[in-house]
Amino acid sequence: MKLISSFLCICLLVLVSCGEDQTKKTSWESGDEEEIEIPEDFVADTIAIRNLFDELTFPDTVMYDLLAELGICDTVKGAEFNIHKPPCEPRFYKFFRYKKDMPWKEGFALEIRAGVEEFYLRRFILFERIDGKLTKIQGFVANLVEQHTTHTGYYDLMLLFRDEEAGSFVVKYSWDKDRYVYRSVEAIDGYLVKEERKDSISNVVHQRLEENSMFF
C-alpha cells in the first residue's frame, strides 16, 4: 500500500477527531442520498453481520454446488490442503444475499476468508448468473458488516475496508441499475462520521481506496 500522505492525515484528524464524541460505535446509521420515491408502507431494517467462518456446514446444500461451479476451491474429499485452492467449506467461504429473495443459483455475494490464495485480507465478491453462467459483477477487498433493506429489494451494503496506515473505513454502497455504487463513508476506526462532514471525507476516502486497488 502507498504511504498515507500528511494531507490525508490532517483531513482525517480534522474531519473525524475534532469535536467528535470519542465513544466507540458498533453500528452505523445511514440516510438516502437521492430523491427517490419510496412506498409509504416501507420500513427499512438493519441486518447486523458477524462472520467468524465458524460454521460446520453450509446452511443450504446448493452453496457447495455453486462453489464447485465457480471452480475456486477443492471438491476432492481428503485431498492435501492447499491454501491457493482450499476445500469448499464454510470455514473459508461465506454466502450472502444482496437482493432479497433472489435464489442462490441466480446470484449471491461471497466473502472469502483472509489467507486464502495467500491474500492477507478478506474479499467480498458479487456473482450473477448471466446467459446461464455465474459471472463476477463486482469485487471489494473488504468484509460485510451490515445490510440495510430497501424498497427495491437490493440491500444497501456497509463494507469494512482496512488500511495499514489510515485505519479502517466503513463505507455505504447502494444498488444503482446494474451494480453497487459508492455513497459515503459512515465510520472511521469505529467512530461515526458526522453528517455535515460526510461529503468532504467521503471524497478523500474514495480516492484512498482507489489508490490501494480495493475494488476489482
Q: Cβ of 142: how many Cβ atoms within 10 Å?
A: 25
Q: Give the residue from 98, 102, 99 showing the smallest Cα distance to 124.
A: 98
Q: Give the residue from 138, 193, 149, 197 showing the smallest Cα distance to 167.
A: 193
Distance, in Å, from the CA atom of 54 to the CA atom of 51, rounded to the nearest integer, reads 8
Distance, in Å, from the CA atom of 40 to the CA atom of 212, rounded to the nearest integer, reads 41
CB 205 within 8 A of CB 12: no
> How many Å is the Cα radius of gyration of the chain?
18
Residue 111 in grid coordinates? 466473502
* pLDDT tens per residue, range 77-132: 888 999 999 999 999 999 999 999 999 999 999 999 999 999 999 999 999 999 99
Q: Give the residue from 212, 110, 202, 199 showing the smallest Cα distance to 164.
A: 212
Q: Give the residue from 186, 211, 156, 161 showing the smallest Cα distance to 5.
A: 211
Residues in the chain, pLDDT under 50: 1-4, 6-7, 10, 13-14, 16-19, 22-24, 26-36
pLDDT of 16: 47
Q: Which helix (H) or strand (E) holds 167?
A: strand 167-176
CA-based end-to-end distance of the chain: 15
